[in-house]
Structures are given as structure tokens and as C-alpha cells.
Amino acid sequence: MTTTASKVETIRVSDSETDMRLDRWFRVHFPEVGYTYLQKLLRSGQVRIDSKRAQANDRLIAGAEIRVPAVIREPKKPKLDGRAPLGVSKGDRDAIEKMILYEDEYVLVLNKPFGLAVQGGTGTKRHIDGMLEGMADRFGGERPRLVHRLDRDTSGVLLVAKTRDAAGRLGKTFQSRSAAKTYWALVRGVPKPPQGKIEAALVKASGPDGDRVRKSRPGEQAQAMHATTHYSVVDRVAHKAAWVSLKPVTGRQHQLRAHMHLIGHPIVGDNKYEGDVNLPAENIENKLHLHARRLVIPHPKTGQTIDVTAPLPDHMMASWDLLGFDARRFED
């Protein structure tokens, strides 16, 4: 490897990096280099593989030599706008990098972990929205924008727009219900029939626990939110528990959790909808077993399909193994 005193440096691809995409390789070696900046380097020919022009989606082979301009190692100057740069800790930067399932110039898709809030609120200081805002330099200087939300304890696919225009287009796609979302859940008991549709309008519940919803009652039409969910049993353990695939047509707060509770099969570990009592087996962690498994959506710029799948979180994978469910048969 040449020194950074020269204009370029050359890095050899290791055996463990075989078949890694070039943009992913950059995230590992140069996490401060945003995708937009990388595209500029590629278009201008400043990044090359074995002396040839490269593209972000090029797959690497062991022994290949990647040429990069030494300038990318130089620290960026802070903006002189009278404010201190936002920034986040290295730990939070690394955490976001590990969450990335898909990235291009306009879109970022994360695998949100269990227990991490998407946005801030009372008593919530660490959340994905804030972490992304503090990494604006990594994403081309513009603050990434959340397109939708997941509950704190729901894991899985989370869509983020990297530009204002992409955020507007993706928001309209969600509003038009053109985004296909699939969730996996573990529920108490086995729904009958094994496939069905749940249509129940929801309203926020009164009382101290305001972030809970229930089925609307007569006379509550004005505040009721129409909600529709399709469900399908993927596998089961006798009559004790079922692995279900859930496809929400609408996107209401707690929709999937409330709907499964309404049909008598609450999601395991759900402390708001009675899923945290009478667990179907010993050694199952009493955590919410709800995971945003897959998202299929047209790209906001090209219109081509983005199809992203998130692996199960550790506590759900442990429950799948304990109950004899084989999630790996759906792995690519």
C-alpha cells in the first residue's frame, strides 16, 4: 500500500472480501465516504479496480487491487455556519453501518434492531432518526429522512430517503399502498382458518397508556382508522403457537399487534396486547416477536423494483430453533 502522502493509494482485496460489492467494501474501509461522494469518484475514474473503471455494484475478487485517491483519508473541514457539527459517536456510526441492507444514491434500507426507537420522544435520547441526522456527512450532506416507522420493539426493514425529492416520492408510494410489506410473527395458538383477512377499524385507547389502540365502537366513526391485514400460517406447533406471515394493506399504529389480539392470537412477547402471558414454551424470551421481514417498492428515481429482506433478530431466531421452525428455507 502506498502512503497517503502520494496522490493515490492501492489496496489489495483480501480472501475474506471475495464477492463483496465495491460500495460495501468502501463502507468497511472508508465509512466516512458517502454513497454520493463515491459515485462522483467512480464517474470521474478516480476509483479503479485493476486499473479499470469501476461501478458501485462491481463484485470483488481476492487479490484485485483497488485504486483510491488519498484525499478521501483527509478529515473534512467543519462547516463555518456558526454551529458545531452535529456528529454521532463512532459506536453509533458503526451501528448504522451494520444495519444497512441496501443503499444507492437516493435510498437507504436498514435492518432495525429490537429495542431501538426510530424517533425520539419523552425520555428517548438515542434513536435512528437522530443517529442518521448526525451522519449527514456520510450520506452526502443532506439529512436522511424516514419514510415510515416501526415500533421500538419491532425489528426489520426500515426505509429511509437520502434526498428530499426521494422522500416525497416514496411517501406518495406508501400513501397509494404500492409498497408491499411482509412481517413475520410468532403468535399464541393457531389462527383458524390458516389464511384470512382481518378488517377492523382502530381507535386510540383512552387511559394512561395512550399509545395503545383497540377496535372502534359504535359512535366512534369519526376518529376510527380503517385497517386491513392479511395473514397466513407458515408453520405451527400443535395448538400452542404459530409462525404467521402478515401483510398489512394499511399502516396504522400497532395495527398488526391489535389485529392479532382481536382474533385471539396475540403476538408473543407483546406486553400491550396480552402476548406476554402464557408463553407457548419455556425458554422463549419474553420480547415482542414481530419482524418486518420484506419490503418490495418501486425505486423513487428509476421505477425499478427494490426488494429487500431482513434476517430474523437473535431472540426470534432462538425461538424458531426452539420450536423447530426453519426460517433458513426462505434465505436466498
The model's pLDDT over 22-51, given as tens digits with 9 standing for 90+, comes to: 988 887 788 777 777 788 888 888 899 999
- Both 45 and 115 in one domain: the answer is no
pLDDT in tens, 86-132: 567 888 889 999 999 999 989 999 999 999 999 887 778 889 999 99
- Both 56 and 94 in one domain: the answer is no
Q: Is 50 one of the catalytic residues? A: no
Identify the domain containing residue 266 by its residue range.
Answer: 180-330
Residue 83 in domain: no
- Both 286 and 187 in one domain: the answer is yes
- Both 131 and 222 in one domain: the answer is no
- Residues of the chain with pLDDT > 90, as a percent, come to 58
Residue 110 in domain: yes
- Both 171 and 206 in one domain: the answer is no
Residue 212 in domain: yes
Can you give the three-state secondary structure of the chain, one letter per residue? CCCCCCCEEEEECCHHHCCCEHHHHHHHHCCCCCHHHHHHHHHCCCCEECCEECCCCCECCCCCEEEEEHHHHCCCCCCCCCCCCCCCCHHHHHHHHHHEEEECCCEEEEEECCCCECCCECCECCEHHHHHHCCCCCCCCCCCEECCCCCCCCEEEEEEECCHHHHHHHHHHHHCCCCEEEEEEEEECCCCCCEEEEECCEEECCCCCCCCEEECCCCCCCCCECCEEEEEEEEEECCCEEEEEEEECCCCCCHHHHHHHHCCCCECCCCCCCCCCCCCCCCCCCCCCEEEEEEEEECCCCCCEEEEECCCCHHHHHHHHHHCCCHHHHCC
Which residue, 144, 175, 206, sits at the end of a domain?
175
- Both 212 and 258 in one domain: the answer is yes
- Both 242 and 318 in one domain: the answer is yes
- Residue 39 sits in a domain of what CATH number? 3.10.290.10
Residue 3 in domain: no
Number of domains making up the chain: 3
- Both 208 and 294 in one domain: the answer is yes
* Banded pLDDT at 199 (limits 50, 70, 90): very high
**pTM of the shown model:** 0.76
- Both 99 and 144 in one domain: the answer is yes
Which residue, 141, 159, 175, sits at the end of a domain?
175
Of the listed 23, 58, 104, 151, which one is catalytic? Answer: 151
Q: What is the rounded average pLDDT of the residues 169-196?
A: 94
